[in-house]
Amino acid sequence: MRFVIRADRRIVVAFEPTAEEFPLQPGETIVVEWFARHEDGMVSLEADNFVVAAPTGGYTRAWRSDGSEIYIGPESGPDSC
């Protein structure tokens, strides 16, 4: 599954279970892709924190607006596919 997070205000995007955090400014986007058999991943917006929780047994990759990949943890990046 692939989805886009687009900010209309300053928020912090937190990736679980690694707790990596990335600030997102108005107009910026982060593209998120989940790789997993299960479809129980979750997103939530709590005040100015947008939380992305990976699906069970899966992993997450993400890219900033400029196309650069965000390091989320040991199971992210091109070698995780």
Q: Answer yes or no: is 17 within a domain.
A: yes
Q: Model-level pTM?
A: 0.84
Q: At residue 81, does pLDDT exceed 60?
A: no
- State residue 57's pLDDT score: 81
Q: Answer yes or no: is 56 within a domain.
A: yes
Q: Answer yes or no: is 11 within a domain.
A: yes
C-beta separation of 29 from 65 below 8 A = yes
Q: Answer yes or no: is 81 within a domain.
A: no
The phi, psi pair for 80, rounded to 5°, reads -85, -15
**What range defines the domain where residue 60 resides?**
2-75
Residue 59 CA to residue 73 CA, distance in Å, equals 9
Residue 57 CA to residue 47 CA, distance in Å, equals 28
Residue 51 CA to residue 79 CA, distance in Å, equals 24
The phi, psi pair for 40, rounded to 5°, reads -100, 20
Q: Answer yes or no: is 80 within a domain.
A: no
List pLDDT tens digits, range 12-55: 999 998 889 999 999 999 999 988 887 788 999 988 999 999 88
